Amino acid sequence: MSDASSTETARRTGKNPGPRTGLRSRQIARLRHVPVTRRVAAWIAAVAHDPGTSFRFVVAFAVAHTLLWTIIITALKSAQDIHMDVSEAYAWGQKFLLGYGKHPPLAGWVAGVWFRVFPVTDWATYALAMMVTGLGLVICWLIAVRVVDHRRAMFTVAMLAIYPIFNFKGYQYNPDTLQLVTLPLFVLAYLNAFEKRTARSGLWLGLATALALMTKYWVLTMIGAAGLAALLHPDRMRFWRSPAPWVAFAAFFVAMLPHLWWLKQSDFMPLVYADDVYSGRTFGVALQLSLLYLAHNIGLLLVPVGLAAVALAWKLQWWKSIRSRGVVREFVASAKRPWMRGPNPGVYLSQAKHIWIIQIIVGLVPAVAAVVLGIYIKTDWGISLFFLVPLALLAIPTLRVTQMALIRIMLIWLIFTLVMLVISPIIAAQTIRRDGYKGLPFLPRSEFALQLTEA
């Protein structure tokens, strides 16, 4: 057998690839001409989409978000003292009780543990708040991969990282912020229980429900929405005939017994407080407050939704298209670009229906109920109720999310974060220079919290 024929035979069998010097040289030469940015972008897209590496990637992303925004918020808020809610949580955490005057005990417990490890300083309070939002990002990713593919799940996390609730407005640690962990945990446990319908999944759902309710009674809105979703879902009978919901009810009740006992011993103090402060508004006042609540939270959502739309619809060399088509026609074409009919294997419709139902209910019902019942609904009560909006939008089957769209949304997050990292100390210095201490919205209260604790 000649050398040529033996080489060809070995190459076909795979035992010897044979001389590939020319091919390898061409590959290396081609790689040298690929910009580093494209290589990094391709690596990020591959790692985020690969089920074997995507979890580690999202954890690293959440850690980076937490560290960077802790630095940003510490610099930005260096001109003022911590928020009163943080001082309140710190004071609660000095004694681990089964409840406190305004809220269930979990926020105080977490603060108590945190400040036994970290010093009682401003940066530590901001680190606590950012740690909560970072953990919330990871849990939201765990929800998303049950509903959409890994690329869309990472896109969801990037949208949430741009959402002001997870950066600017998340700077103050309080029960509202802590719900960004406990409510995603509850939704994750609910999706798991509805899918598996086992006693174990029901146990986790009951414990997650109790954990959420131990954060703030306001989470009953999300719990009720999940209950309605379980009643409206097409597979509802398979769920209700399984042991999961009944084990969940039992586990929830047992886990809540100590706090329920405390509620009775304290003459239902948190409920009396809520009734005194937030009820009894006239129809006109309640309507005005509800409209403000909706406008505020919709305005916050427009930031990630608008930037996501740019990432999805962006076209290279768009200025050439504007010259040829005109501004209006190119805008219409860009709006249509991410949409395509047909089946979409990247969306799991059975799970997506839960997300749509839950988000629609918690998005509308609280505002309507506040008007009907005459309740003063605060804008910050929406902090924990709209984290499913990005996932609900990305779970629309006709929406296509390309690899480059994921790179663009992550690049938007990176640019936004780095810009804030640079300008945050400048903003703080300008605020002090312009307003002095007269412009500070919060006077020192950490010392007052310490005095209350020692009293």
| Amino acid (1-letter code) at residue 439 | G
In the predicted model, is pLDDT for residue 60 greater than 50?
A: yes
Q: Within a domain: residue 271?
A: yes
| 254-308 pLDDT, tens digit each | 999 999 999 999 999 988 888 888 888 899 999 999 999 999 999 999 999 999 9
Closest of 377, 306, 368, 311 to residue 338, by C-alpha: 311
Distance CA 13, CA 138 (A): 46
| Amino acid (1-letter code) at residue 180 | L
* Residue 328 contacts residue 183 (beta carbons within 8 Å): no
Question: pLDDT grade, residue 11 (50/70/90)?
Answer: very low
Q: Within a domain: residue 257?
A: yes
In the predicted model, is pLDDT for residue 2 greater than 90?
A: no
Q: Within a domain: residue 183?
A: yes
b/e string for 149-165 if b means 16 or more Cβ within 10 A?
bbbbbbbbbbbbbbbeb
Closest of 214, 183, 185 to residue 384, by C-alpha: 183
Q: Kindly report the average pLDDT of the chain as a whole number.
A: 85
Q: Within a domain: residue 40?
A: no
Q: Within a domain: residue 17?
A: no
State the residue range of the domain holding 59. Answer: 54-454
Q: Which has more pLDDT, 436 or 418?
A: 418
In the predicted model, is pLDDT for residue 32 greater than 70?
A: no
148 C-beta neighbours (distance < 10 Å), count: 27
Lookup: tokens for 9: 């035979």
Tell me the average pLDDT across 19-34.
52
Question: pLDDT grade, residue 14 (50/70/90)?
Answer: very low
Q: Within a domain: residue 44?
A: no
Number of domains in the chain: 1
Question: For residue 40, what pLDDT is reported?
Answer: 76
In the predicted model, is pLDDT for residue 455 greater than 80?
A: no
Tell me the average pLDDT across 408-436.
88
The residues, ordered by sequence, that sit 6+ positions from 330 with a Cβ below 8 Å of its Cβ are 318, 321, 322
Q: Within a domain: residue 16?
A: no
Distance CA 185, CA 193 (A): 12
Distance CA 213, CA 216 (A): 5
Q: Within a domain: residue 405?
A: yes
Q: Which has more pLDDT, 71 or 428?
A: 71
The residues pairing with 148 across neighbouring beta strands, listed in sequence order, are 347
CA 125 to chain centre: 20
Tell me the average pLDDT across 393-421.
93
